[in-house]
Chain A
Amino acid sequence: MSNSQTNQEENALEEALSPIVDKLINKNYESNKERMTSQIAPLLGSAIREQIKSQKDDVVDALYPVLGNMISRYVTKTLEETLNSINAQIQNGLSYKTLKRKVKAKLKGVSETELLLSENANPNIQAVFLIHKETGVTLSRAHNPNHHVSEPEMLAAMMTAIRSFVNDWVSQDGKDHELGEIDYSGNKIIIEASSYSYLAVIVEGASYNSTYDRIRGVLGDIVSKYGESVKKFDGDLTQFPNAEVYKELSSLLINEEEIHKAKTHPLMYVVPLVFLSWASFSVYKNYLNDALRDKANEVLYKTTQLTSYRLTANAVDGVITLSGEVPFAYHKRLARKLVEKLESANKVDNQIIVAPSLEDPMRISSNIAYLISGLNSQKGVNLTYDYDYETLVVKGEVWDEARKNRVMQVITQAITLKNMQNAVIIKPPELHKSVCFERGSTKLTPSAQSRLIETILLLKRLDESLLINVTSYSDQIGEKKQNKKLSNDRIQNVTNYLREQGDVSNEFVTAVSQSSPEGVNPSLEPQKARCVIISYEKKVNR
């Protein structure tokens, strides 16, 4: 038999049998559908797995139209919802809110769409449960009217069980683990625990830090206010302050956006605007008032007759109000006169009280202290005082008689006391000028002249009654007679210079000394020994 014959027979057989086999398979499939499915099913899984392993791209290509459609449909739907909501907001047109958003976008430097997206993703707290940690009993709960939880007790108990499970089974390193949140299809349950209770908060949409902060805040409030009730909870719900806690929980249900809205009602902008303009007006007015007040106070302070009474001036809209106490009506009138002269002072309300005797020792004492410190700021005055009630002893030093008289006059004018003692000492400032000469010369050198000018300047500030000592010393070189003559001439030159150049009218006491000045060794420093020393007469006290 040839090969071709065999082939022919096979073909013939196939042609004859195939309709019958087809019919058989169809029939078998119809009658044993379930059996066939169950037989093929296990194979399908491995077949797909095998196919993916070897022909990954083929499978992806094959599935792409289905999966792609599915995914794109899902994404489209989600986007559509977001877009619808955004469109609605845009269509609101140039509402106040849109305007605000536009400004906000400009200020923040982000696009308006971004802001819109974040507005749309605002978290929405749907329900809040306060749950007893150990028993899982719902102590209190609040939910949005459109978000009904069918079995709140079951949810609370299950959450507690899950928490217990996670806290115990997950923690293997001995550290405390706490279940934070459970996510499910875009929503989540945020769990915030305290020691005896925890909050389970069902949130729809994204949650932000502010959401967690609010939850923590509410739990903190509940724990601080009702922590004891939670701790003591024994199963009896009537003993639990449900109404109060419910109020706390409900505060979480208010949308963050609504809180925001409530804060920024358009009217709320008018109020700050009015306030702002009022504030700036009053700041300006205050500035004017302050300037006037400062000027008035300065004038009162700088007038010596009034300094010690520390009068105060206040200015409101150009009206100056004077207050304080003075001993005589003269002071009151003086104060008014001074202030009236000021520019922009429209009116003076003189409320100064004339009190002939300021009898409060504390006041007197502080007045004295104030006055003395003022006087001490002048050159050549260095006063101290003893004040025992009714008796004031003024002590210290002044440079000269004129100063002493002036100071005492001011004190007696300013402070009216029965007993006033004057123990002020006149002590002129140090004067010990040494004017040196060249050997054998009586001529005033430039440096000697500058010394003399210094002396003149000092004497000008002092009393003319001071006696001035002018003593000439010698280097003890050469003849005594010659030296004495030189000394006399030198004194003459010095006193002449003082009188003619400095117009000094003090009386001079001149003396010629054969020796050298104190502390100068003539053999070592002869140039220092040839000098005239100007000082005060030893006893200058009157």
Chain B
Amino acid sequence: MIAYKVVMVGDFGVGKTSLVRRFVDNSFSEDYLSTIGVSISKKSLGNSTVMLWDIEGDTEFKPIFKQYLLGAKGFIIVADVTRKNSLESIQKHIELCHSIVSGAPICVALNKSDAPHAISEETIKSLKSLSPSIVEVLKTSAKNGDAVLEIFYMLDKNVSQTIKNRS
């Protein structure tokens, strides 16, 4: 039995909460409700209990609150395929995560893939090469559920393997 913490990191409005809702409740809502502070969800995956910390998105006026990242075993960095600057922020978010927990595994979710977008395979490759800690970069859609389970499972597999190896 293992229990650990995963933090969702990304710019505001990229769909962090929606990904969590889809993953935990398998539900989706078009309404946008900005997360204030942090909302925490629990999901059991086989032998592990994942505490998902869905934090307030990063904005120009209010940076991410670092205390919430403490002690995380993995991160899911979320970007919006339709918003170019959210993609550009990925690099910054990786650095932030690693400044708190160095070398923690990261999955990158390029969300809202159901909307028309122009993300090439090369972009994905270049994103993957941003850090050796990146486990996977996937195009996801909280709306139709594409690759949502996959991205969480991949992170869980990586984290639980690391924990088992260490103990």
Contacts and interface: CB of A to CB of B under 8 A. Distances in A.
Interface of A: 132-138, 151, 153-154, 157-158, 161, 164-165, 167-169, 234-239
Given A135-B72, A137-B4, A164-B70, A234 B42 contact: no
B1 A237 contact: yes
Question: Majority SS of interface residues in chain A?
Answer: helix
B71 A157 contact: no
18 contacts: A135-B3, A135-B4, A135-B72, A136-B53, A136-B71, A137-B4, A151-B42, A157-B42, A161-B53, A164-B65, A164-B67, A165-B38, A165-B67, A169-B65, A234-B163, A235-B48, A236-B1, A237-B3
Interface string B55-69: 000000000011110
Contacts of B73: 135, 235
A178 to B, nearest CB: 13
B29 interface: no
A133 B70 CA distance: 9
B159 to A, nearest CB: 7
A193 B98 CA distance: 26
B4 A168 contact: no
Interface in B27-42: 37-38, 40-42
Contacts of A165: 37-38, 65, 67
Contacts of B66: 168
B71 to A, nearest CB: 3
Contact of B51 (A137, A164, A236, A239): A137
B92 interface: no
B21 interface: no
A157 B2 contact: no
A138 B67 CA distance: 18
Given A136-B71, A153-B42, A236-B167, 20 more contacts: A134-B5, A134-B71, A135-B5, A135-B51, A135-B70, A135-B71, A136-B53, A137-B51, A151-B42, A154-B40, A157-B53, A161-B40, A161-B53, A168-B67, A169-B65, A235-B2, A235-B4, A236-B2, A237-B1, A238-B1
Contacts of B67: 164-165, 167-168
Interface of B: 1-5, 37-38, 40-42, 48-49, 51, 53, 65-68, 70-73, 159-160, 163-164, 166-167
A134 B49 CA distance: 16
Question: Majority SS of interface residues in chain B?
Answer: mixed
A165 B72 CA distance: 16
Nearest to A196: B71
Contacts, number: 79
A264 B5 CA distance: 47
Contacts of A235: 2-4, 48, 73, 159-160, 163
A151 B40 CA distance: 12
Nearest to B71: A134
B53 to A, nearest CB: 7
B93 to A, nearest CB: 19
Contacts of A151: 42
A135 B159 CA distance: 14
Nearest first, the 4 A-B pairs at minimum CB distance are: A134-B71, A135-B71, A164-B67, A235-B4
A134 B4 CA distance: 10
B51 A234 contact: no
B166 A153 contact: no
A167 B67 CA distance: 9
B140 to A, nearest CB: 24
Contact of A234 (B49, B72, B166): B166
A132 B3 CA distance: 11
A132 B72 CA distance: 12
Contact of B37 (A132, A161, A167, A239): A161
B3 A138 contact: yes
Contacts of A167: 67
Contacts of B4: 135, 137, 235
A115 to B, nearest CB: 44
Given A154-B40, A157-B53, A158-B40, A234 B65 contact: no
- From B48, B68, B160, residue with most partner A Cβ within 10 Å: B68
A234 B163 CA distance: 7
Contacts of B160: 235
A138 B5 CA distance: 11
A21 to B, nearest CB: 44
- From B38, B53, B67, residue with most partner A Cβ within 10 Å: B67
A167 B68 CA distance: 11
Given A135-B5, A137-B4, A234-B163, A168 B65 contact: yes
Nearest to A163: B67
A33 B48 CA distance: 54
Contacts of A135: 3-5, 51, 70-73
A138 B49 CA distance: 11
Nearest to B41: A154
A196 B81 CA distance: 39
A138 to B, nearest CB: 7
Contact of B68 (A132, A153, A164): A164
Contacts of B1: 236-238
Given A168-B65, A235-B159, A154 B2 contact: no
